[in-house]
Structure 1
Amino acid sequence: MTFSLQRRTATAALAALGLGAALTAFAPLASAQSVADIKKKGEITIGMLVDFPPYGTTNAQNQPDGYDADVAKLLAKDLGVKANIVPVTGPNRIPFLLTNKVDVLVASLAITPERSKQVQFSQPYAAATIVLYGKTGANIKSAADLKTVRVGVARASTQDVAVTKAAPEGTEIRRFDDDASAMQALISGQVDAIGCSVTVAAQIAKRVPANTFENKFNLLQQAMGIALRPGQDELTKAVNDFVARNTANGELNKLYQKWLGADLPKLQ
């Protein structure tokens, strides 16, 4: 079997397996990349989601748009190169990085201990707040109250994990294929509340009469980092410098205000 065929076979196997041990085993095939390499190439290839508005979406010209797209372009400008933005999905974004299809990910990737075993994260550049969102007036003030209501979540999502962890034993948790399905279940009355990001909550609020639903309480706040391959220490330092500088000068806050209508949270 040739190296090329081996690599294609490994890539296919990686897509079919879970992200844990398979990704870690495959990581050594990825080559380190420096700032000089990117400058010589004249562009930085950045993977981003286009199905997670307002962080990642597409515009009228079907081009990547949203907070992550603006951050990606700002990073490229900071490095003095062009931005080549490549759409990725939730499941394939880390494999795309580890198989050298992209140089970095600006892809709404929450920083978690498990993911930190697979990729190298920059300092946080964004955050997503996960809330319990339900009927206005419903007696849901804390996780202890969830036992009396039906709660919807997108299956295997961060909010699923957060609700499952917080809810008392016996809580009725209904799991749906995605946020859109959970959203529709709340609007149609199949569930009394859902665990979702504040951006999903804002989308629901636009579709129903005012004061139909409200944020009940925060489940967690996720810090998001720009992801790089392990061993890219020089490039990671450059990205961290970029994040620190543009946090201090307010540029990231301007973009966050533009897309999320709120100030960039203080990130640790």
Structure 2
Amino acid sequence: MPTEPRLADGVRLALTTFTTAPVRAGRVDRATAGTAMALAPAVGALLGVVLGGALLLAGALAPPLVAAGVTVGLGALLTRGLHLDGLADTVDALGSYRRGPAALEIMKQPDVGPFGVVALVVVLLLQTAVLAELAGRDAPAALAAVVAATAAGRLAAGLACRRGVPAARPEGLGALVAGTVGWGAPALGALAVALLAAPAVPGRPWQGPLAVLAALAVAAGLLRHLVRRFGGITGDVLGALVEVVTTLSYLGLVLTG
């Protein structure tokens, strides 16, 4: 496939996978999926600009906690709640202490178990609390923090799709994207996310990059554990990594600020 059509199809797939953007679907195959996963941090950065702008706007009209709640809700709306659903399903499977196909069956269940509910409550509370704190800070720093954390979360999904990481099932999103990303794109993505995070902590430009890179390091360890438990990645695993890294990045940026 020519490079330009593949890039265009990859952009479309990245947008439709990570957002609710009304984009016409293009060709979907493993080559296109690899391009989409490599572009995931860029889509995350764009989403972060929207969410950061919403936080600042809402913060000018309402108390910080209300602005934070609106922003978290908007983030779920603009992603169809898919990453949150993946987090709940993944934590339910982990909480069952089952492995392989038995764990995957739990992830396929339409309901959410107690472990998943607790995970959702904790993540949403933490994100709301952090955004409330950011709403009261300098606007450029707050915007940089939201953009960097949102981009870092999507970069985690791209890292999980690197070569050598298998799919847990022979079908589904995991099978489409597993092993499609080389090391070059994630390395560039990590550098870009680190640069985006630098303005998030005024006066200490090294602390923002350190916070997001530490969150990605935690995700790498979590990914290894999930692959051992499930046999590979699934779409739910990707969603869980997005939410975990986004939340940890937020926490790191606030605690170092």
Q: Verify same fold: TM over 0.5.
A: no
Q: TM-score, normalised by structure 2?
A: 0.29
Larger radius of gyration: 1
Q: TM-score, normalised by structure 1?
A: 0.28
